[in-house]
Amino acid sequence: MLRIHFTGDSITDAGRDRTDPASLGDGYVSLLAQAPELADARISNSGIAGNRAIDLVGRWEADVMSSQPDVLSIYVGINDVWRRFDSDDPTTDEEFEARLRHLLERVPAGVRVLLVEPFLLPVRAEQQGWLTELRGKQRVVADLAGRFGAQWVPLQQRLSEAAGEDAAAWAPDGVHPFPRASRLIADAWLDAYRRLPA
């Protein structure tokens, strides 16, 4: 059976029951579990709300590699931006790149990887500054996908175009998606998954 493992922050976590290994939350991962083309896959989720790349480094072996995935999806980055603005705890693009590269270097050969682009739909004026900060992290994700032969899952343009001038109707705080945004994330992920090498 194909094993697909998802890890990342709150967008992947999506309120899952962390005491139940089968819990997928109510976000894009649970939607993907219902996709006909993934019906025969065993899907697991180790997303944890609030996580940054450094948090994934700390739990990589126990929470991610222990699932022995055939396909691994990594979705992280927005908290590496957010903590600069709400906690004065910035993560530079160089630190983010080093940590994400550290993770990718520990993925066994043969595991197919998807790297999901973190997104932001600014709903407050000050979040425009967040978006400027996020662009560096987005470039890191795209660049590392190319360097490691991973499949990049672009979200920013797709969500921005869908939301138009009504960002809060898609993500009330600019970050956490409403169901229709989760559906769009799932669709983007599936598009990228279909491009993975066999």
What the block records as the tokens of 61 is 């072996």
List residues with catalytic annotation.
Answer: 10, 173, 176
State pLDDT tens for residues 73-89: 999 999 999 999 999 99
State pLDDT tens for residues 9-62: 999 999 999 999 999 999 999 999 999 999 999 999 999 999 999 999 999 999
Task: Provide the pLDDT for residue 25.
Answer: 98
- Its pTM stands at 0.97
110-131: average pLDDT: 96
